[in-house]
Amino acid sequence: MSNERQVERLASYYLQYVGQYLTDNHKKICDEALKSGIHVDLARLARWRLEGGIVMTPESVPNVLVDDHGRLYQAKKPIDRHLKKHIFAYAALSVVDHPMHSAHCAFWVKHSIEDTAALVVKASYSNKVPIQFKDKQDLVERVKAGQRRYEGRMVTEGLERVQKWMAEHVQRVGRNQTAQPAGPPPTEPSGHESSGPSASVTVTVREREEQIQRIKRWQEVVRSYDDRP
């Protein structure tokens, strides 16, 4: 397999890796909200991804290589930094003209377009890349023009994507919580408050009930987005 084909294969894997990274980030946000009871505006979360969300860098490229048969394997040591930059540039340029791609904003979030473009241009001087551009400014304008055309759809579809994932995750968490046995009922104190096992069971049951109530509130939030005009 040629070096160009290897980079293309690794860039494709990297885009999948970025997508999973974003999903894990949403899971973290949702779980923290469930634990604390804080309300997270899903529309604001979708807008955040476009305006100032997670930004990927060449250092985020995983240490994975591809053999002559196109099979991926874990490298025994960190891969060459120049190769990481090439993979990063190839992946970032692959989604320049696809603002609706789930990984687009991870590279081209608005506040970092200039920085990402500078990295990509530098890594593209002597390497094959999927699109052509004159210089950094040409690339920046290309990204911004595409985002302007699709911005409304980017936020709408971003909201729907987050909403769908959030609903599925909340349902999974809810099933897991309600499926857990409630434990034995607490024993009545005999003249003093018990500090033994029965007291810890009482706390566990109460915390679980509070968690279930938070899950129900989250389900109501998700349904409210389903009902929007």
Q: At residue 119, does pLDDT exceed 80? A: yes
CA–CA separation, 71 vs 31, rounded Å? Answer: 35
| Tokens read off for 36 | 């604390």
Q: What is the mean pLDDT of the chain?
A: 75
| Tokens read off for 130 | 């999927």
The 10s digit of each residue's pLDDT in 8-57 is 999 999 999 998 888 788 777 777 776 776 666 767 776 777 777 778 89
CA–CA separation, 214 vs 217, rounded Å? Answer: 5
- Asked if 1 and 70 touch (Cβ cutoff 8 Å), the reply is yes
| Tokens read off for 53 | 């969300």
Where do the H-state alpha helices sit in the chain? 3-36, 42-51, 81-94, 104-108, 113-124, 136-179, 197-226
Q: At residue 190, does pLDDT exceed 50? A: no
**pLDDT of amino acid 38:** 67
Q: At residue 173, does pLDDT exceed 70? A: no
The 10s digit of each residue's pLDDT in 56-68 is 899 999 999 988 8
- Asked if 114 and 140 touch (Cβ cutoff 8 Å), the reply is yes
CA–CA separation, 50 vs 141, rounded Å? Answer: 16
CA–CA separation, 105 vs 19, rounded Å? Answer: 11
More confident residue, 167 or 85: 85
Give me the torsion for CA of 126, 127, 128, 129, rounded to 10°.
-110
Among 89, 91, 66, 100, residue whose Cα is nearest residue 11: 91
The 10s digit of each residue's pLDDT in 72-94 is 999 999 999 999 999 999 999 99
More confident residue, 43 or 69: 69
Q: What is the 3-state secondary structure (H, E, C) of 114-172?
A: HHHHHHHHHHHCCCCCCCCCCCHHHHHHHHHHHHHHHHHHHHHHHHHHHHHHHHHHHHH
CA–CA separation, 50 vs 105, rounded Å? Answer: 6
More confident residue, 126 or 150: 150
Give the least confident one: 62-71, 116-125, 162-171, 172-181.
172-181
